[in-house]
Structure 1
Amino acid sequence: MRVDFTAFFRALADWTGETERSDRQAGETLLAMMRALVRFDGMVVFAYRDKARPIDLFSTFDADDYNVFVSLYQAGPYLLDPFYHTARAGRSGVLRMRELAPDRFFSSEYYRSYYSQTRLAEELGFFVPTQDGVTVVVSLMRREKTGVFPAGEFGLLTDAEPFVAAFVRRAWSGLAERFAETGQGRGRRNEPVSAADKVWRKLNLTDREASIIELVLQGHSSESIGLRLDISTGTVKVHRRNVYRKLGISSQIQLLSIYLKNLQA
């Protein structure tokens, strides 16, 4: 795709001329600039902070897609999303979903039950830490019919990352206060209990069991979980069997069903 510099600079000029800038205006400006650089089918901008429910700042979806990518996502699946965990870790840069996903992500029940509904060939994100533990993620998405981002286009987006990060920090300042307005913005010493934590407590899982099962649902294999938690693969499997017996289930699909049902309870 040929870069449309005229469209890029026109969008930037319109933005600098605005005196009052809403989420919508910022999103539309960023959308126009990104479309001048590369081809993609959708864009969504989320703000993440600690364990709080993410704030949707902008998206390009119609009603049906908005329900999948935003409403349903915010209801609980975000807790299993590799982008959510990467944002919480405070990473920055342009990162592809396939680089961040656990080793069993694309065969997990989370992928089959939720993420596959997105019908995406690829998703990449600009991860921009702002202030007070908030990270803004600008996700660009390409559908299966469009295919993945070519290496040249991904390289162009990587080159554009410093500009995008500066734009995001200027356009979406004061996000910590917005989390505070929702009752989710307390500092790390009083970090809010996430919806997932509440589920594990309700199901009477120990902290170790909860840690393992959460990683299972995210798409980690027993080997990957063992490495992350510094325990043996055999210990992981024992804990997993104990949880299945405690919950009266025998499969990951049943585990995900219980998890999502209790998230929405």
Structure 2
Amino acid sequence: MQADLRALFQSLADWTETTESSDKQAGETLLSMTRALVRFDYMVIFAYRDKARPIHLFSTFEPEDYKLFVTLYQTGPYLLDPFYHAARADRAGVMRMRELAPDRFFSSEYYRTFYSQTQLAEEVGFFVPTRDGVTVVVSLMRREKTGAFPATEFGLLSDAEPFMSAFVRHAWGNLAGRFAEMVQGRGRRSEPVSAADRVWRRLNLTDRESSIVELVLQGHSSESIGLKLDISTGTVKVHRRNVYRKLGISSQIQLLSIYLKNLQG
């Protein structure tokens, strides 16, 4: 695809005349600018802050796809998403999903049970840390029939990243208050533990066991978990066996089922 510079500059001109904009207006402006550069099927913009449920800011999904990519995602699967973990780590820049995914992500039960339903060939994200621990992620998705982003188009996105980040900070530079309102709306003053933390406590897992099974569900191998937690691969396997025995299960798919069921319980 050849970049449409006229459309890009027209979008920029329209944006400069806007004093204030809603999430929808900002998202549509960003959509027009990005579509002038590269081809993609969907755009979705989420804001992440620590372990809170992400805030949906904008997307281009039809109703059925919205249920999968937004509604279902927000109920718990986001906790296993590589984009969520990159946002929590304050990563910045434009990155491909496959660059961020754990070593066993594409063979994990999370991938088979949830992510494969998206039928995506590739997902690319602009990661923009704003303030108060909030990171906005602008995700561009291409379906299997469209194929992955060619190197030339990914190069255009990389070149556009400084402007994209500046636009996002201008449009969504003060989201901490919205996260606070979301928590208050649920009748809590604060969120001392995440939904995932509450699941592991309910299942009576130790902190070490919880850390290990979360990484298992994210798609890390025992070797990768050992490196992240600075323990031996053998110790990781012992903890995994203990968790399976404690929960009365024998497979990762059963572990994921228990996890998701308790998240929504």
CA distance in structure 2 between the partners assigned to 1:18 and 1:63 by the alignment? 29
CA contact (8 A) 1:122 1:143 kept: yes
Tell me whether 1:2 sits opposite 2:7 in the alignment.
no
Give how far 1:11 is off: 1.1
Partner of residue 134, structure 1: 134
CA distance in structure 2 between the partners assigned to 1:33 and 1:14 by the alignment? 11
Partner of residue 225, structure 2: 225
Partner of residue 11, structure 1: 11
Tell me whether 1:88 sits opposite 2:88 in the alignment.
yes
CA distance in structure 2 between the partners assigned to 1:2 and 1:247 by the alignment? 54
> Which runs of structure 2 are paired with 1:158-237 in the superposition (5 Å)?
158-183=158-183, 192-237=192-237
Deviations 1:178-234 (Å, cap 9, x if unpaired)?
A: 11111279xxxx763111000000000000000000000000000000000000000
CA distance in structure 2 between the partners assigned to 1:207 and 1:243 by the alignment? 12
TM-score normalised by length of structure 1: 0.97
Q: Hey, which bits of structure 1, 4+ residues long, moved more than 2 A?
A: none
Alignment-mate amino acid for residue 236 of structure 2: V
Give how far 1:15 is off: 1.4
Aligned residues: 261
Over the matched positions of the two proteins, sequence identity in percent amounts to 81
Runs of 5+ unmatched residues, structure 2: none
CA contact (8 A) 1:50 1:191 kept: no
Q: Indicate the SS of the match to 1:182.
A: helix
Deviations 1:6-55 (Å, cap 9, x if unpaired)?
A: 11111111111123300000000000000000000000000000000000
Tell me whether 1:57 sits opposite 2:61 in the alignment.
no
CA distance in structure 1 between the partners assigned to 2:216 and 2:32 by the alignment? 39
CA contact (8 A) 2:183 2:191 kept: no
Alignment-mate amino acid for residue 9 of structure 2: F
Give how far 1:85 is off: 0.3
Quick check: 190-199 or 29-38, which moved more? 190-199
TM-score normalised by length of structure 2: 0.97
Coordinate RMSD, CA, aligned: 1.1
CA contact (8 A) 1:184 1:192 kept: no
CA distance in structure 2 between the partners assigned to 1:94 and 1:236 by the alignment? 32
